[in-house]
Homo-oligomer: A and B are copies of this chain.
Amino acid sequence: MTSAAAPEWQVAAWLNASSPVSLARLRGKVVALYAFQMLCPACVSHAIPQAKQVRQIFPRDEVEVLGLHTVFEHHAAMGSAALEAFIHEYRIDFPVGIDQPSGQGPLPLTMQAYQLRGTPTLLLFDRQGVLRHTLLGAVHDMQVGALIAGLAARTTTAPPHQSHGNDGACRI
Copies in the complex: 4
CB proximity to B under 8 Å, residues A31-80: 39-41, 44-45, 50, 53-54, 57-59, 73-74, 76-78
Can you list, as one digit per residue, whether each of A78-122 has a CB less than 8 Å from chain B (1) or not (0)?
100110111011100000000000000000000000000000000
- In contact, A149 and B145 (Cβ under 8 angstroms): yes
Beyond the given A143-B145, A147-B149, please list 10 additional residue pairs across the A-B interface where CB-CB is below 8 A: A39-B82, A41-B90, A53-B142, A57-B142, A59-B166, A76-B82, A77-B84, A82-B82, A148-B149, A149-B153
**A contact set with B: CB distance below 8 Å:** 39-41, 44-45, 50, 53-54, 57-59, 73-74, 76-78, 81-82, 84-86, 88-90, 140-150, 152-154, 166
